[in-house]
Amino acid sequence: MRRRSRVIPPEAKTGADLPDDAFRRELRRRSRRGFAGALASVAAGAAGFQWFMNSPKEGRLNRAMRRALGWHERVGLATFRPDRLAREFPASSARMPIVNGLIGLFGPMPDWKLRVTGAAGKAREFTMAELRALDLPRVETTTELECVEGWTTVVRWSGVRLLDFAAKTGLASRTGRLGDPLAQPGDLLSYASLATPDNAYYVGLDMPSALHPQTLLCDAMNGQPLLPDHGAPLRLSIPVKYGFKSLKQLGSLHFTDVRPADFWAEQGYDWFAGL
């Protein structure tokens, strides 16, 4: 039986299948096509960048960036799990973090009070002595303070859970009901807004993050009372967020259904800021 020869279509031939002159022509053809494709990709990228940069402004950001951050926030909220804990470290690994930001800090405040408001204008004020008189369980965590600038420090935080404070006061619920606010999600307000005593620095938190079991109202760091530069007499520690959400020298706490303003989100950072 005569053996049939195999026919290789031109587009399937390699350099080894082609004569030298044909190989060179094919190489030039493919090089031109690749260059044209690369040029088209660069042009498309440049056009996309121009569209992105020239989109209308919304606050300090253009609309495209604001939409991207909004998408990130929706994904973060949809995937957030209250039972997922930030990594804990041995207490011996704790270090003093750098002082990074003094906006809103007054130094020692002998007449300090925490102003707390909830639904329907319910409001209370607490001195440190009155906060301690609530007899909330003391909690200690050793977690990373992670800055959006790229550095991290392991810190040992001491204080009370914001969840326990909300349960004791009822201010995080619409009806003012006492007890675990997570037991009746429909009665729970949507956000927490926190600010320094002069309102110069402020953060907004989604309620699931605010009531995360590792979110603390702290009066001590690394086994010592807070120093003024680190937020004395009371600050927030929220290890499921970047460090700019861990507000220092807490002066007011407001539970609300309206998404709160956030100092760094207004400068163009991510409002959700989840890790």
What is the structure's pLDDT at 93?
97
Which of residues 110 and 245 earns the better pLDDT score? 245
Compute the average pLDDT of residues 140-151: 96
Can you say whether the dihedral through the CA atoms of 153, 156, 158, 161 is positive or negative?
Answer: positive
Q: Kindly indicate the confidence band of residue 243, based on its pLDDT and cuts at 50, 70 and 90.
A: very high
For residue range 193-226, list pLDDT tens digits in order. 999 999 999 999 999 999 999 999 999 999 999 9
Compute the average pLDDT of residues 83-98: 96
What is the structure's pLDDT at 254?
97
Compute the average pLDDT of residues 248-258: 97
List, in order, residues 6 or more apart from 7 with CB less than 8 Å away: none
Which of residues 131 and 74 earns the better pLDDT score? 131
What is the structure's pLDDT at 59?
60
Cα separation, 29 vs 11, in Å, equals: 11
Which of residues 78 and 172 earns the better pLDDT score? 172
Q: What is the mean pLDDT of the chain?
A: 86
Q: Which of 44, 68, 42 is nearest to 55 (CA)?
A: 68
Cα separation, 19 vs 8, in Å, equals: 14
Compute the average pLDDT of residues 3-26: 58
Q: Kindly indicate the confidence band of residue 130, based on its pLDDT and cuts at 50, 70 and 90.
A: very high
Compute the average pLDDT of residues 118-136: 94
pLDDT at 141 over 90: yes
For residue range 18-41, list pLDDT tens digits in order. 566 776 776 677 677 766 666 667
Under 8 Å between Cβ of 159 and 131: no
Classify each residue of 82-120 as buried b or exposed e, where b means 16 or more C-beta atoms within 10 Å of its C-beta: eeeebeeeeeeebeebeeeeeebbeeeeeebbbebbbbe
pLDDT at 116 over 70: yes
What is the structure's pLDDT at 108?
82
- What is the model's pTM? 0.78
What is the structure's pLDDT at 48?
53
pLDDT at 76 over 80: no
Residue reference for tokens 């009370």 = 160
Which of residues 11 and 211 earns the better pLDDT score? 211
For residue range 174-191, list pLDDT tens digits in order. 999 999 999 999 999 999
